[in-house]
């Protein structure tokens, strides 16, 4: 007779209710050693590559952040296809006169004239004249035309003139001689300064902004460093206007 085993063999018997134990394979042993080694080597190469790449990326980002303020000053030229003109964005011009006094002229955009290569039309031009001692006068307007042949700038619409000692006035039109360091205008002038309000029929700027003369105004002449009015020069010379 046989019961769950081989007949006549005691080793073939097991107790009722005793669980049958079945050996399970070791799954780790089923993975080929060569495949294990290959994965470890690939991971090690990846880690080594990241140790070199990540510092380089971080260094590049630091360089980009350091150069970012200067990127806005890059001059970008583009062709205006509909008119065949060349437009300069964020135009910048810097120069010094014979007395080493700096002058700067900037604009949001500048378009060279097709009829005359020396003429450049500007949007939002800003002209700044600076003395050797650091005092300055800034002039800005909505539009402007610059003549490279003689350094003359015509400023049109909402001309705003500001000097570092607080004098500020507005007019409709102004001319600037960038080489001579003078400016003038015959349109009505409204403004204010340390000595009060300014209401005049025109203005003259001499000597890179050191002296400002208002025509037919109680505040006739103001020199750099003055706290009030000064005497009006006799027959102030009027600079010649650039050819239109």
Q: Name the residue among 75, 44, 209, 60 with its Cα closest to residue 136.
A: 209
pLDDT higher than threshold 50 for residue 97: yes
What pLDDT shows up at residue 157? 96
Segment 162-173, tens digit of pLDDT? 998 888 999 999
Find out whether 48 and 41 touch, Cβ atoms under 8 Å: no
What pLDDT shows up at residue 188? 95
What pLDDT shows up at residue 32? 47
Exposure string for 168-192, b = 16+ CB within 10 A, e = fewer: ebbbeebbbbbeebbbbbbeebebe
C-alpha radius of gyration, the chain, whole number: 41
What pLDDT shows up at residue 69? 46
* Burial of residue 161, with CB atoms counted within 10 A of its CB: 0-12 exposed, 13-18 middle, 19 or more buried: buried
Assign a CATH topology to domain 76-223: lipopolysaccharide transport protein A fold (2.60.450)
What pLDDT shows up at residue 218? 62
What pLDDT shows up at residue 220? 52
More confident residue, 137 or 57: 137
More confident residue, 107 or 55: 107
pLDDT higher than threshold 70 for residue 77: no
By residue count, the chain amounts to 244
Whole-angstrom Cα distance, residue 49 to residue 26?
35
- DSSP assigned state of 113: -
Whole-angstrom Cα distance, residue 183 to residue 103?
13
pLDDT higher than threshold 90 for residue 159: yes
Q: How confident is the model at residue 73 (pLDDT cuts 50, 70, 90)?
A: very low
């Amino acid at each position: 007779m046989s019961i769950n085993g081989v007949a006549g063999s005691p080793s073939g018997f097991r107790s009722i209710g005793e669980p049958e134990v079945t050996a399970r394979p070791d799954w780790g042993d089923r993975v080929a050693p060569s495949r294990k080694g290959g994965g470890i080597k690939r991971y090690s190469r990846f880690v080594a590559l990241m140790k070199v790449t990540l510092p380089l990326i971080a260094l590049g980002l630091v360089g980009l952040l350091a150069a970012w303020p200067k990127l806005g000053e890059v001059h970008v030229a583009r062709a205006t296809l509909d008119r065949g003109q060349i437009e300069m964005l964020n135009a910048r011009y810097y120069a010094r006169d014979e007395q080493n006094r700096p002058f700067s002229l900037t604009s949001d955009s500048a378009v060279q004239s097709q009829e005359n290569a020396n003429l450049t039309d500007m949007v939002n031009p800003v002209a700044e004249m600076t003395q050797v001692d650091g005092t300055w006068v800034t002039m800005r307007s909505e539009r402007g035309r610059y003549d490279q042949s003689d350094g003359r700038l015509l400023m049109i619409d909402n001309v705003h003139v500001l000097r570092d000692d607080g004098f500020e006035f507005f007019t409709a039109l102004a001319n600037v001689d960038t080489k001579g360091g003078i400016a003038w205008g015959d349109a009505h002038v409204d403004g204010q300064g340390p000595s009060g309000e300014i209401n005049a029929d025109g203005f003259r700027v001499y000597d890179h902004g050191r002296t400002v003369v208002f025509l037919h105004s109680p505040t006739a002449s103001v020199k750099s460093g003055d706290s009030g009015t000064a005497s009006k020069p006799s027959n102030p010379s009027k600079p010649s206007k650039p050819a239109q």
